[in-house]
Amino acid sequence: MKTWTRKDLIGLDDLSTEEIQFLLDTATAFKGVGERSLKKVPALRGKTLVNFFVEPSTRTRTSFEIAAMRLSADVVNITATASSLQKGETLKDTALNLQALHADIIVLRHSSAGSPRFLADRLESSIINAGDGSHEHPTQGLLDIFTMRQKHGRIAGLNVLIVGDILFSRVARSNIHGLVKLGAKVTLVGPTTLVPAGFEKLGVRVAHRLDDVLEEADVINLLRIQHERQRKEYFPGLGEYVSLFGLTKARAARLKPGCLIMHPGPINRGVEIDSEVADGAGSVILEQVTNGIAVRMAVLYLCAGGAGLPT
Amino acid sequence: MKTWTRKDLIGLDDLSTEEIQFLLDTATAFKGVGERSLKKVPALRGKTLVNFFVEPSTRTRTSFEIAAMRLSADVVNITATASSLQKGETLKDTALNLQALHADIIVLRHSSAGSPRFLADRLESSIINAGDGSHEHPTQGLLDIFTMRQKHGRIAGLNVLIVGDILFSRVARSNIHGLVKLGAKVTLVGPTTLVPAGFEKLGVRVAHRLDDVLEEADVINLLRIQHERQRKEYFPGLGEYVSLFGLTKARAARLKPGCLIMHPGPINRGVEIDSEVADGAGSVILEQVTNGIAVRMAVLYLCAGGAGLPT
Amino acid sequence: MKTWTRKDLIGLDDLSTEEIQFLLDTATAFKGVGERSLKKVPALRGKTLVNFFVEPSTRTRTSFEIAAMRLSADVVNITATASSLQKGETLKDTALNLQALHADIIVLRHSSAGSPRFLADRLESSIINAGDGSHEHPTQGLLDIFTMRQKHGRIAGLNVLIVGDILFSRVARSNIHGLVKLGAKVTLVGPTTLVPAGFEKLGVRVAHRLDDVLEEADVINLLRIQHERQRKEYFPGLGEYVSLFGLTKARAARLKPGCLIMHPGPINRGVEIDSEVADGAGSVILEQVTNGIAVRMAVLYLCAGGAGLPT
């Protein structure tokens, strides 16, 4: 496959194996740009990107903003509290207005699953999903997979554990769809309330005890515990969570040499992961952040119709 | 007239017919820029524009921001809640500080009528009024008139209805001043509480029943119902408003062929305008938004001392 | 001294006399850029600056933002309420993430003294202190000293009064450290609660009556009264403060010809300074604001590794 034909990126579930690999290859080409002294290419000069965040996220917004600036695009930030959504305007009307303002790309973060697809079907602007409810967060999934591929040299055959709140996690869903397509063996790990029956049909294995599967992992991806988004009845107490699913020093010592420790951030030190382990040798948490720029540059570049990789 | 000599744009009431026409002609030249793939010209490179919004408005702020970026200006956004106005500083002191920071252009949105004039008289920076109380919103008026001229090929002789809350509307005032100067026949339509006696002296006609004047309109401009800014006693109930002044499907069917349906947005679907009518053939609501960029580029370019139209 | 070797600017207390002079000389070279029509140089093109303000400050944030744009850097703004600090992330983790996002420069405003040093010791990114608690605000100190040097042609031997809330003022501390190193005679003036014993060891004189020292001043720098940051027991009533320490018209009349009247802003008209005096001949308050851009351009340029002055 030599070309990319999509104007939008809604989820990894939509993409073919070849499309995911093409995105990762393009991100590899862009990764070099971030390592130069002059970290800027003219690829999207004169294009306008709107960061439209109806749910707050400084980290993802900043990553897209920097990626866009590296491509020489103009960036406008709109947040929900500041936006005219407050005046009762519908999401569709707001988006039609952004398109009328010549927004070439709209990066949307929204608490409702399906919002980006709804807009993508109605607008000519490229819609990039920056996280929609519990549905998908495709650029996070791509940057996780990019980091695994960079470190292990392949995805096919890797044993990847995804640990924590799978039920409500868009990061988990994007990882699952991408990893399964690329041939990884994915195991979801968490309490039955957060990893209920039914996930196996996505092509993954489910485990309810981290200690049972820890030692076979090539990658362990620890999801953030997000109290704000969960109903209490789904979730054990924090102490119980740490004892059953936290990556403590003792558990980290049992990991295979070369096992990657990943986390989408921000980390809760002492909860999902021991503080020293987070800063230790196997952790690639900050490399994930850096790779996020390259992945987002690739996504913006391809969806906005860029042709030809940077040289 | 070949040149523009004003450093500020405070209201259309201040401008001569020739100045308004020159602004519209300049906007026409800039409209082409927004249709290019590379939507950027170097006209204001190295100039700094400050969007100083003491009253929130994502739409107008974003439109000015994109217009400025298209002209290659640097843009800084300052909102009231973030600004040092909170510390008790006066508007004048804040503005003097912005000027001392080399702000070539200050785009001001403020709830007090007269604020932009106050600053324009005291500062060397260009002051662009982005809406001051119930006084004027000149770039909205210009983009409305620009859209009418583009679609009808002329303004002189057009029958333009402006419907709704005229009393408190800066959009209405800017439309009235501009349209009357360019020779349109303007009719204000609304309940007596919102279109009280006295408006006729601006050179317009007043009607209190939309159904009486609907069929002669070449343009119907529906103002937004803004509960937040009105005292209840001025305003009938929503149902009564719709039945008397809403552009329902039945009323839309009675419009002349080619009559433009306009609204400054954001629309309240089912209140000022039926939802299907808003999306229908006669509606130019989204074209108004697009034209707003071209009009604001022209205003910024001329007030900041640009010379020579883009080619 | 021909070169600058620091990656960070934490406080003037850290700098040698030669380093301060080199910064001021560099700022002089940049001051000319702000007076051009095209106020932009490519010095930091492709570099990313993050304005990370955990404590709000529109003025300082805007000044850094404009300085960075003048140097052609890309600017990302992050404020505390929007940041993931809300999710319980530590300052260090947030900063490590900013570094991982390729932030070449992080401008930090934080309520805790020592925060910028903490980050500077742990990150490769340049850390610029934009005010940390009551510790230092080095760019404000530099712009004050730059303005004095510009107007008086020298710093050595100048009699400089700093008046007001010395105890809690980071502006005062940065001024003191810089001025003493450059040979000025500094007198701190305020009530004993706000200028307690112990300041003399910084190489300054302390006075508790403004009227005793007013007539010998070459510069009088009036600190802002910040009720929000003070405990009431330290502070006399406003009326008493004005009568003892306010620069009233009567006191201004007793100043030496050529004495500079300075204030870091925003001024409380009628409190620290009479309104007419603030706008009068001796006041350089707005020139301080303008000089802030040049000083911040110099700081960003040198800390980010720029070589060669602009020509």
Please name which of A11, B164, B14, A269 lies closest in space to residue C91, comparing C-alpha atoms: A269
* d(C-alpha C85, C-alpha C79), whole Å: 10
B114 shares its domain with B227: no
Section C80-107 average pLDDT: 79
B41 shares its domain with B124: yes
Residue of A nearest to B224 (CA): A87
* Residue-wise pLDDT tens digits, B56-109: 888 999 999 999 999 999 999 998 754 445 555 688 898 899 999 989 999 999
Chain B residues whose beta carbon lies within 8 Å of the beta carbon of residue A88: 266, 268
Mean pLDDT lowest for which of B64-73, C239-248, C300-309? C300-309
Whether A230 maps to a domain, the answer reads: yes
The C-alpha angle with vertex B230 and arms to B224 and B236, in degrees rounded to 5, equals 80
- Confidence class for position B6, pLDDT limits 50, 70, 90: very high
Tell me the three state secondary structure of residue B24: helix
A93 shares its domain with A225: no
Section C137-165 average pLDDT: 98
CA-based radius of gyration for chain C: 19
Closest-CA distance of chain C to residue B22, Å: 25
* d(C-alpha C121, C-alpha C114), whole Å: 11
Whether C309 maps to a domain, the answer reads: no
* Residue-wise pLDDT tens digits, B113-133: 999 999 999 999 999 999 999
Whether A24 maps to a domain, the answer reads: yes
Mean pLDDT lowest for which of A84-88, A197-201, B13-17, C48-52? A84-88
Instruction: Give how far Cα A202 sits from Cα of A176, A222, A236, A294, B267, Å.
Output: 8, 19, 25, 28, 42
Comparison of pLDDT for C88 and A169, the residue scoring more: A169
C127 shares its domain with C42: yes
Section C118-123 average pLDDT: 95
Whether C261 maps to a domain, the answer reads: yes
C142 shares its domain with C273: yes
Report the percentage of chain B scoring pLDDT > 70.
92
Residue of A nearest to B73 (CA): A74
Please say if the pLDDT value at position A34 is more than 60: yes
Whether B152 maps to a domain, the answer reads: yes
Section C179-206 average pLDDT: 95
Number of A–C residue contacts, CB under 8 Å: 65
Closest-CA distance of chain C to residue B5, Å: 18
* d(C-alpha A116, C-alpha A105), whole Å: 12
Please say if the pLDDT value at position C159 is more than 90: yes
The C-alpha angle with vertex A57 and arms to A24 and A268, in degrees rounded to 5, equals 90
CA-based radius of gyration for chain A: 19
Whether B275 maps to a domain, the answer reads: yes
- Confidence class for position C116, pLDDT limits 50, 70, 90: very high
Q: Strands, E, within chain C: which ranges?
A: 48-53, 74-79, 105-110, 126-132, 159-163, 185-189, 205-207, 219-222, 260-262
**Average pLDDT of chain A to the nearest whole number:** 92
What pLDDT is recorded for position A56? Answer: 81
Chain B residues whose beta carbon lies within 8 Å of the beta carbon of residue C62: 50, 76, 78, 98, 101
* Residue-wise pLDDT tens digits, A213-248: 999 999 999 999 876 555 566 777 888 899 999 999
* d(C-alpha B282, C-alpha C38), whole Å: 44
Please say if the pLDDT value at position C1 is more than 60: no
* Residue-wise pLDDT tens digits, B23-61: 999 999 999 887 787 889 999 999 999 999 998 888 999
Please say if the pLDDT value at position C82 is more than 60: no
* Residue-wise pLDDT tens digits, B175-204: 999 999 999 999 999 999 999 889 999 999
B158 shares its domain with B284: yes
**Average pLDDT of chain B to the nearest whole number:** 92
The C-alpha torsion from B64 through B68 and B74 to B78, rounded to 10°, is -10
The C-alpha angle with vertex C119 and arms to C118 and C123, in degrees rounded to 5, equals 135
ipTM of the complex: 0.92
Chain C residues whose beta carbon lies within 8 Å of the beta carbon of residue A36: 46
Please say if the pLDDT value at position C235 is more than 80: no
* Residue-wise pLDDT tens digits, A50-78: 999 998 888 999 999 999 999 999 999 99
Closest-CA distance of chain B to residue C106, Å: 18
B180 shares its domain with B237: yes
Where does residue A131 fall: left (phi above 0), alpha (psi -120 to 50 degrees), or beta otherwise? left
What pLDDT is recorded for position B280? Answer: 96
CB C115 within 8 A of CB C124: no
Among B40, B57, B266, the residue with its CB nearest the CB of A93 is B266
Q: Is B254 on the interface with A (CB under 8 A)?
A: no
Instruction: Give how far Cα A227 sits from Cα of A80, A162, A178, Å.
Output: 21, 18, 26
- Burial class, B35, CB count within 10 angstroms (exposed 0-12 / middle 13-18 / buried 19+): exposed
* d(C-alpha C69, C-alpha C75), whole Å: 7
Q: Strands, E, within B111-211: which ranges?
A: 126-132, 159-163, 185-189, 205-207
Selected for mutation to probe chain B from C38, C44, C57, C58 (highest B CB count within 10 Å) is C58
Question: How many domains are there within chain C?
Answer: 2
Q: Is B307 on the interface with C (CB under 8 A)?
A: no
B284 shares its domain with B146: yes
* d(C-alpha C89, C-alpha C108), whole Å: 16
Please say if the pLDDT value at position B139 is more than 90: yes
- Burial class, C25, CB count within 10 angstroms (exposed 0-12 / middle 13-18 / buried 19+): middle
Chains that touch C (3 or more CB pairs under 8 A): A, B
Among C38, C63, C267, the residue with its CB nearest the CB of B101 is C63
Among A45, A90, A97, the residue with its CB nearest the CB of B289 is A97
Whether C310 maps to a domain, the answer reads: no
Tell me the three state secondary structure of residue B93: helix
Please say if the pLDDT value at position A123 is more than 60: yes
What pLDDT is recorded for position B82? Answer: 42
What number of CA atoms fall less than 13 Å from residue B91's CA on the CB side?
A: 20
Section C119-139 average pLDDT: 96
What pLDDT is recorded for position C104? Answer: 95
* d(C-alpha C37, C-alpha C281), whole Å: 27
A113 shares its domain with A177: no
A149 shares its domain with A228: yes
Cβ A286–C100 below 8 Å, yes or no?
A: yes
Chain B (81-140) residues lying within 8 Å, Cβ to Cβ, of chain A: none
User: What is the model's pTM?
Assistant: 0.94
Q: Is A34 on the interface with C (CB under 8 A)?
A: yes
Structure tokens given for B294: 């071209």
Range of the domain at C154: 138-289
What pLDDT is recorded for position A67? Answer: 97
Chains that touch B (3 or more CB pairs under 8 A): A, C
Closest-CA distance of chain C to residue A299, Å: 17
Whether B311 maps to a domain, the answer reads: no
In chain A, which ranges are continuous DSSP H helix? 17-34, 58-70, 91-100, 115-120, 138-152, 170-181, 210-213, 238-245, 249-253, 275-278, 285-303
* d(C-alpha C267, C-alpha C279), whole Å: 11
Number of A–B residue contacts, CB under 8 Å: 66
Q: What is the CATH number of the domain that holds C122?
A: 3.40.50.1370
Please say if the pLDDT value at position C308 is more than 80: no
Section B277-283 average pLDDT: 96
Among B93, B98, B99, the residue with its CB nearest the CB of C266 is B93
* Residue-wise pLDDT tens digits, A126-157: 999 999 999 999 999 999 999 999 999 999 99
C127 shares its domain with C242: no
Pairing outcome for strands B105-110 and B48-53: parallel
Section C137-159 average pLDDT: 98
B113 shares its domain with B229: no
